[in-house]
């Protein structure tokens, strides 16, 4: 029997872990502004981009 | 400059460019050099970003702040479930699925009913969405015309209609090139990817222009917004909308795979599964990029047009126009046009395939007794139907757009569409992962969910537009409050989308599960369930052929293929199939189950699985296998797989056992050889003293007159040799016992220091005779090990008598040292003899090998002492070795482990 594909599992785990990071109640934490830019704006785009970068690292890693 | 004529000319020119890109893509595909790379695939997914994103996001941001982002975060998270999407792609390729309706129908026993139901839901849910795109194009055209002060082109019909007609033409040209809907439309995909780049570039351009050209950058824009009380709330999150936030993420996550156009692009148009690895991050990155300036644009628009009556949905256009940046406005217009046309093209292709295969074909097939059935070649008719469906869908969209105008039913349709296609989720996911899900369950779930959606979302949007009475929203149906459409059973406090999603999913999933559990699948369903759920295991179609039994004729099947695929393509496919079967002539193919499967698969690609099944059944007399038998066959297939796996592992075990045996045999032979060597050596060693004893005895016997001195000397030698012989025999016996493991061992606490001292004392006479100094460095007490005292004494005696043999007389020095560390005792016996050469080093532990030159010197021992000592030490878990250099003496060392200290 073939073993489950580790890349798919890693990506799925990343997706699962991202759900709480991108929904309430954590979303209500960033408030006010940083360097003139609203904290929620920075948090959402920052977290989102981080997630995409991690996904890219996992997906594009050369399999051994 | 912005005359209506110019704008229309530009639009037409842009669409012309799209035609060129699509033609190029198709030409390359025909030449076998596909331009669909992983990047193009990822970009084509951005057909998700319609004009609703391009214009509407800014509008949403002006009222809801950052909440528009949910529509893009959902797809990001969904795409990370690569396994689910790959499974969909695999199934679709194996089953030649042409659309999402076909997928669901095929899973639940190739049901025409289900296919039709899914198609109807998709059309009702999505056609207004197409209308929304046309409206966006129309609105953007109007704004450009307003600024130019011009009227519509005199004497010409509505410009939106022209665009819709051009889109229909494009879709017909590039969407219906092949009859086989599973054939990819590479030109179309290339054009969509191109459009994705255009709309992103346009949106980024206007974002940068407004943020940095009209305002002093992001922070300036945010600062000024924060200062305005009615804008400040857009900058922070609103915790009271937490439920909506999550619901929208779920909804958009489902939409990214279940919207017909998304299914078309992600699944049907997929060239290579590996492309998904790129799409999983590149497409979300695209979404981030296209969203970064949405909130700044919304704030910019609100600040700039403060107090004026401007539609926030058009800020992207009106902002640059307010600054007179006409060429930028044109670029934005082209970007919006890209977003709208991309969506319309793909959605129309997907819907037309569904309408043709799942609504028209079944009707046509039933009516074939009326005349359609007699026509020889139906492929032309099929293409005609598909083209007509494209025109019809676009026309419907256009009519809806004209009829709805500014009505809410059009503006709010984006999310309403999402909620409609989300109803496919239980039947899809259930079908892919749960074999028990049945057709009845899927139909019940879909119908239930669809009606709840209709009642709680679509009809209320009609009521809001004033098209129907809104009594059922305000007071509830028939005045029953519990039936208020947007507060069903008094459930309030949710927004309308979450409300509808919650109730429709409850009904949909509930009915799907309950009805599935209480209904029985038929034979076809059970087979399909197996193939879908276990797609990764059914790599090859091993069970397919056995699930069909009946009689068919090749001629009839071939003529069926020719009728639907056209003679040319049918023959092409037949030839390919024959080649795969190893025959050159397809006329010679047997009409077996495999051939029937092949014919059905080919037909599925053209007319959908449900219709294909009906058609094949009309010419082939299939025996009804019955559910039990199908389950048996499937079970048997599983068992065969299990057996073959078992067989494999058994044969592997067998191989391993054979290898072990061979190794053991080698070892036995080696031992046998060693035994022979041993015996011959032993005999040789025994003969030497015996010979000398016999020779001297004979001399004594033969010569009675020998004088007393000689006689005494000879007798002394005889006694010595006899002793040597005895020792030799004792040691050989000892060795044999040790090696066979029959030696008797007693284990007790032994003080090694004491053993060393006693041995030194008992051998003291020997040393003194030869004038050799014996020194000891031994602790007064201990160390104590668990061993056999007599055996250890034997080792000590051996080492010491060896040492005394090899050191020179008078100047000889032998040192004994006993020490202990945490884990073991180390005993060293060092001498200042001649030392050992490298060769000797390696051989002295072998039996009957002795140090010194045996050729010239008289052997001084039996050659068994060291091997025996080593065996003894190793028996107690220690080691015996030697450290030496020629001329520098030798140091024999052995270790014995200390007993593990008890706590």
Mean pLDDT of chain B: 82
Q: How far is B222 from chain A (nearest CA, A)?
A: 6
Portion 601-660 of B in contact with A at CB < 8 A: 645
> What's the CA gap between B479 and B500, in Å, rounded?
20
- Do residue B226 and residue A33 have CB atoms under 8 angstroms apart? yes
Q: Which residues contact B688 (CB under 8 A, 6 or more apart)?
A: B859
Name which of A5, A23, A44 is nearest B66 (Cβ-Cβ).
A44
Confidence of residue A53 (pLDDT cuts 50, 70, 90): very high
- Residue of B861 and B757 predicted with greater confidence: B757
Residues of B whose CB is below 8 A from A60: 277-278, 281
pLDDT at B103: 92
**Torsion angles phi and psi, residue B195, rounded to 5:** -60, -35
Residues of chain A contacting B284 with CB distance shorter than 8 Å: 48, 51-52, 55
DSSP string, B673-685: HHHHHHHHHHHHH
Sequence ranges of the domains in chain B: 4-368+375-410, 540-625, 653-737, 746-897
What CA–CA distance (Å, rounded) separates B114 from B107?
Answer: 10
Chain segment B592-646, per-residue pLDDT in tens: 777 888 888 888 888 888 888 888 877 777 776 666 777 777 666 667 777 888 8
DSSP string for B233-262: HHHS--GGGHHHHHHHHHHHHHHHHHSHHH
Note whether A52 contacts B223, CB cutoff 8 Å: no
Q: Please tell me which residue of chain A has the smallest CA distance to B69.
A: A44
**Whether the predicted pLDDT of B291 surpasses 80:** yes
Q: Are A28 and B239 a contacting pair at CB < 8 A?
A: yes
Q: Judge whether residue B262 has pLDDT over 80.
A: yes
The band of B538, judged by pLDDT with boundaries at 50, 70 and 90, is: low
Give DSSP secondary structure letters for B715-744: HHHHHHHHHHHHHHHHHHHHHHHHHHT---
Contact A56 B237 (CB under 8 A): no
CB contact (8 A) between residue B235 and residue A40: yes
**Is B536 within 8 Å of chain A by CB?**
yes
The pLDDT, as a whole number, for residue B116 is: 92
Q: Does any CB of chain B come closer than 8 Å to the CB of residue A51?
A: yes
CB contact at 8 A, B58 and B298: yes
When comparing pLDDT for B210 and B780, which is higher? B210
Chain B positions touching A22 (Cβ under 8 A) are: 73, 77, 249
For residue range B461-471, list pLDDT tens digits in order.
888 887 887 77
Q: Is the per-residue pLDDT at A2 higher than 80? A: no
Find, in chain A, the residue whose alpha carbon is nearest to that of B235: A38
- Write b or e for each residue in B363-377: b if 16 or more Cβ atoms lie within 10 A of its Cβ, otherwise e: ebbeeeeeeeeeeee
Give yes or no for a cis peptide into A25 (omega within 30° of 0): yes
Q: Which residues pair with B622 in a beta bridge?
A: B550
Q: What is the mean pLDDT of residues B141-168?
A: 69
Average pLDDT value for residue range B884-900: 79
Peptide bond into B783 cis (omega under 30): yes
What pLDDT digit, counting tens, does each position of B491-526 carry?
777 788 888 999 999 999 999 999 999 998 888 888
Determine the Cα–Cα distance for residues B108 and B88; give it in Å rounded to an integer: 15
Residue B80 contacts A where some CB pair is shorter than 8 Å: yes
For residue B688, give Cα distances in angstroms to B43, B58, B691. Answer: 95, 111, 5
pLDDT of residue B374: 57
Return the sign of the alpha-carbon dihedral for residues B233, B235, B241, B247.
positive
Q: Among B264-273, B275-284, B650-659, B703-712, name the one with the lowest average pLDDT.
A: B703-712
| Interchain CB contact of B271 with A (< 8 Å) | no
- Residue B108 · residue B439 · CB < 8 Å: yes
Residue B14, token pair as written in the block: 């842009």
User: Apex CA B373: angle with CA B368 and CA B379, to 5°?
Assistant: 115
- What is the nearest CA distance from B258 to chain A, expressed in angstroms? 19
Distance separating alpha carbons of residues B78 and B25, to the nearest angstrom: 29
Q: Which CATH class is domain B746-897?
A: alpha beta
Per-residue pLDDT, B698? 86
**Better-predicted residue by pLDDT, B410 or B697:** B697
The CATH number of B4-368+375-410 is: 1.20.1730.10
Q: How many residues does chain A have?
A: 64
Residues of chain A contacting residue B77, judged by C-beta atoms under 8 Å apart: 15, 18-19, 22
Q: Name which of B22-36, B435-449, B580-594 the model is least confident about.
A: B580-594
Six-digit token string for A12: 């799925």
State how far residue A43 is from chain B, nearest Cα, in angstroms. 11
User: What phi and psi values does residue B882 have, to the nearest 5 degrees?
Assistant: -130, 145
Q: What is the pLDDT averaged over residues A12-37?
A: 85
Determine contact, residues A40/B118, Cβ cutoff 8 Å. Answer: no
State whether residue A47 sits within 8 Å of chain B by CB: no
Determine which of A53, A55, A58, A62 to mutate to test the interface with B (most B C-beta atoms within 10 Å).
Answer: A55
Chain B residue at shortest CA distance from A14: B80
Mean pLDDT over B733-741 rounds to 76
Reply yes or no on whether the pLDDT at A64 is more than 50: no
Q: Is the dihedral angle over the CA atoms B195, B201, B204, B205 positive or is it negative?
A: negative
Q: Are B68 and B415 in contact (CB under 8 A)?
A: no
Chain A CB contacts of B86 below 8 Å: 8
Cβ contact, residue pair A11, B226, below 8 Å: no
Rounded Cα distance between B718 and B696, Å, is 7
Residue B381 near residue B607 (C-beta atoms within 8 A):
no
Residues 293 through 322 of chain B touching chain A, CB cutoff 8 Å: 295
Strand partners, B897: B824
| Chain A residues 26-45 with CB within 8 Å of chain B | 27-28, 30-31, 33, 35-38, 40-41, 44-45
Integer distance in angstroms from the first to the last C-alpha of chain B? Answer: 98
**Which pLDDT score is estimated for B637?**
67
Beta-carbon separation of B83 and A24 below 8 A: no
Q: Which of B83, B223, B236 sits opposite A8 (nearest CB)?
A: B83
Candidates B141, B66, B599; CA nearest to B337 is B141
| Closest CA–CA distance from residue B643 to any residue of chain A (Å) | 13
Chain A neighbors of B249, CB-CB under 8 A: 19, 22-23
What is the least distance, in Å, from the CA of A64 to any CA of chain B? 16
Query: Is any Cβ of chain B less than 8 angstroms from the Cβ of A50?
Result: no
Verify whether the Cβ–Cβ distance B83 to A37 is below 8 Å. no
Q: What Cα–Cα distance (Å) separates residue A5 from each residue in A11, B14, B76, B430, B552?
A: 10, 44, 20, 22, 42
Q: How close, in Å, is residue A36 to chain B by CA atoms?
A: 5
B166 touches chain A (CB under 8 A): no
Reported as a single tens digit per residue, the pLDDT across B854-864 is 444 445 566 67
The secondary element (H helix, E strand) that includes residue B621 is strand B621-622
* Helix ranges, B149-274 (H): 159-175, 186-208, 218-227, 229-235, 242-258, 260-263
Question: CA B632, B637, B641 angle in degrees (round to 5)?
Answer: 145
Flag if A48 and B288 touch (Cβ within 8 Å).
yes
pLDDT at B834 > cutoff 90:
no
Ranges assigned E (strand) in B792-897: 813-820, 824-831, 879-884, 890-897
Q: How would you class A44 by CB atoms within 10 Å of its CB: exposed for 0-12, middle for 13-18, buried for 19 or more? A: buried
Q: Quote the CA–CA distance of B572 and B395 in Å, as a whole number.
A: 36
Question: Which CATH class for the B653-737 domain?
Answer: mainly alpha
Reading the block at residue B775, the tokens are: 């020194």
> What pairing do the DSSP bridges indicate for beta strands B813-820 and B773-777?
parallel
Give the whole-angstrom CA distance, residue B838 versus residue B836.
7
- Residue B154, pLDDT > 50, answer no
CA pair distance B258, B794, nearest whole angstrom: 86
Inspect the interface and report whether the beta carbons of A37 and B222 lie closer than 8 Å.
yes
Residue B324 phi, psi dihedral angles, 5° rounding: 75, 15
For residue B292, the chain A residues in CB contact (below 8 A) are: 45
Nearest to B281 among A2, A12, A59 (CB): A59
**Which of B69, B80, B245 is nearest residue A11 as measured by Cβ atoms?**
B80
Residue of chain A whose Cα is closest to the Cα of B646: A1
pLDDT tens-digit readout, B294-345? 999 998 888 888 877 778 888 888 888 888 888 899 999 999 999 998 999 9
Three-point CA angle B271, B273, B274, nearest 5°:
110
């Amino acid at each position: 029997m073939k073993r489950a594909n580790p890349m798919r599992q890693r990506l799925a785990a990343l997706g699962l872990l991202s759900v709480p990071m991108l929904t309430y109640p954590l979303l209500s934490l960033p408030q006010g502004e940083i360097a003139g830019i609203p904290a929620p704006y920075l948090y959402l785009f920052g977290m989102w981009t981080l997630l995409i970068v991690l996904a890219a690292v996992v997906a594009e890693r050369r399999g051994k | 400059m912005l005359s209506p004529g110019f704008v229309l000319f530009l639009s037409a020119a842009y669409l012309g460019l799209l035609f060129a890109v699509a033609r190029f893509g198709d030409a390359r595909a025909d030449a076998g050099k596909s331009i669909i790379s992983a990047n193009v695939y990822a970009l084509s997914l951005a057909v998700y970003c319609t004009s609703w994103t391009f214009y509407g996001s800014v509008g949403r941001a002006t009222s809801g702040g950052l909440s528009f982002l949910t529509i893009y975060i959902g797809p990001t998270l969904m795409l990370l479930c690569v396994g689910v999407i790959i499974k969909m792609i695999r199934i679709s390729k194996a089953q030649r699925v042409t659309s999402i309706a076909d997928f669901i129908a095929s899973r639940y026993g190739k049901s025409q009913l289900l296919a039709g139901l899914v198609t109807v839901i998709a059309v009702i849910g999505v056609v207004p969405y197409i209308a929304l795109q046309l409206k966006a194009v129309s609105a953007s055209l109007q704004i450009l015309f307003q600024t130019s002060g011009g009227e519509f082109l005199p004497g010409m019909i509505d410009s939106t209609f022209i665009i819709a007609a051009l889109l229909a033409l494009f879709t017909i040209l590039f969407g219906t090139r092949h009859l086989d809907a599973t054939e990819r439309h590479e030109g179309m995909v290339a054009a969509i990817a191109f459009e994705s780049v255009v709309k992103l570039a346009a949106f980024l351009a206007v974002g940068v222009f407004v943020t940095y050209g009209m305002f002093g950058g992001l922070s300036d824009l945010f600062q000024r917004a924060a200062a305005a009380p009615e804008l400040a709330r857009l900058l922070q999150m609103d915790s009271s909308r937490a439920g909506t936030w999550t619901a929208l993420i779920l909804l958009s996550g489902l939409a990214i795979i279940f919207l017909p156009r998304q299914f078309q692009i992600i699944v049907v148009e997929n060239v290579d599964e590996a492309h998904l690895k790129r799409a999983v991050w590149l497409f979300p990155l695209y979404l981030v990029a296209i969203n970064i300036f949405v909130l700044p644009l919304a704030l910019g628009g609100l600040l700039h047009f403060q107090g004026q009556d401007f539609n926030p949905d058009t800020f992207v256009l009106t902002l640059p126009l307010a600054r007179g940046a006409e060429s930028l406005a044109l670029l934005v217009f082209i970007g919006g046009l890209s977003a709208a046309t991309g969506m319309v093209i793909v959605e129309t292709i997907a819907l037309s395939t569904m309408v043709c295969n799942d609504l028209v074909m079944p009707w046509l097939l039933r009516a074939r007794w009326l005349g359609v059935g007699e026509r020889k070649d139906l492929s032309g008719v099929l293409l005609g139907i598909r083209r007509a469906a494209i025109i019809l869908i676009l026309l419907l969209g256009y009519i809806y757009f004209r009829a709805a105008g500014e009505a809410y039913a059009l503006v709010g349709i984006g999310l309403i569409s999402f909620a409609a296609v989300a109803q496919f989720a239980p039947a899809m996911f259930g079908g892919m992962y749960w074999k028990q899900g049945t057709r009845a369950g899927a139909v019940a779930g879909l119908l239930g969910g669809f009606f709840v959606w209709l009642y709680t979302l679509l009809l209320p949007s009609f009521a809001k537009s004033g098209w129907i009475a809104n009594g059922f929203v305000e007071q509830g149906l028939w005045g029953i409050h519990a039936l208020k459409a947007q507060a069903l059973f008094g459930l309030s406090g949710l927004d309308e989308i979450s409300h509808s999603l919650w109730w429709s999913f409850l009904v949909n999933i509930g009915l799907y599960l309950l009805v599935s559990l209480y209904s029985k699948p038929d034979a076809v369903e059970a087979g399909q369930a197996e193939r879908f759920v276990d797609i990764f295991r059914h790599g090859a179609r091993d069970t397919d052929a056995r699930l069909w039994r009946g009689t068919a004729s090749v001629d009839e099947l071939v003529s069926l293929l020719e009728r639907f695929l056209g003679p040319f393509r049918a023959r092409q496919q037949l030839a390919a199939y024959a080649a795969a079967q190893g025959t050159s002539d397809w006329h010679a193919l047997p009409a077996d189950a495999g051939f029937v499967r092949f014919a059905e698969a080919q037909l599925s690609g053209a007319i959908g699985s449900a219709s294909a099944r009906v058609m094949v059944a009309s010419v082939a007399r299939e025996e009804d296998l019955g559910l039990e038998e199908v389950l048996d066959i499937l079970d048997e297939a599983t068992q065969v797989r299990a057996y073959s796996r078992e067989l494999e592992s058994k044969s592997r075990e067998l191989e391993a056992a054979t290898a072990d045996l061979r190794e053991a045999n080698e070892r036995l032979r080696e031992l046998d050889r060693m035994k022979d060597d041993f015996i011959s050596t032993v005999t040789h060693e025994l003969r030497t003293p015996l010979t000398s004893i016999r020779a001297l005895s004979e001399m004594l016997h033969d010569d009675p007159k020998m004088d007393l001195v000689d006689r005494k000397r000879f007798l002394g030698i005889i006694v010595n040799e006899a002793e040597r012989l005895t020792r030799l025999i004792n040691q050989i016996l000892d060795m044999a016992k040790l090696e066979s493991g029959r030696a008797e061992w007693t284990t007790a606490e032994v003080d090694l220091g004491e053993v060393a001292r006693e041995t030194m004392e008992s051998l003291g006479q020997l040393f003194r005779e030869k004038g050799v100094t014996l020194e000891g460095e031994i602790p007064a007490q201990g160390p104590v090990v668990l061993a056999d005292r007599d055996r250890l004494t034997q080792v000590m005696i051996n080492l010491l008598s060896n040492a005394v043999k090899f050191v020179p007389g008078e100047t000889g020095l032998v040192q004994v040292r006993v020490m202990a560390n945490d884990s073991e005792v180390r005993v060293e016996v060092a001498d200042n003899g001649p030392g050992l050469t490298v060769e000797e080093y390696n051989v002295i532990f072998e039996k009957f090998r002795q140090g010194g030159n045996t050729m010239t010197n008289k052997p001084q021992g039996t050659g068994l002492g060291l091997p025996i000592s080593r065996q003894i030490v190793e028996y107690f878990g220690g080691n015996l070795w030697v450290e030496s250099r020629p001329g520098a003496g030798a140091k024999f060392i052995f270790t014995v482990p200390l007993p593990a200290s008890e706590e």
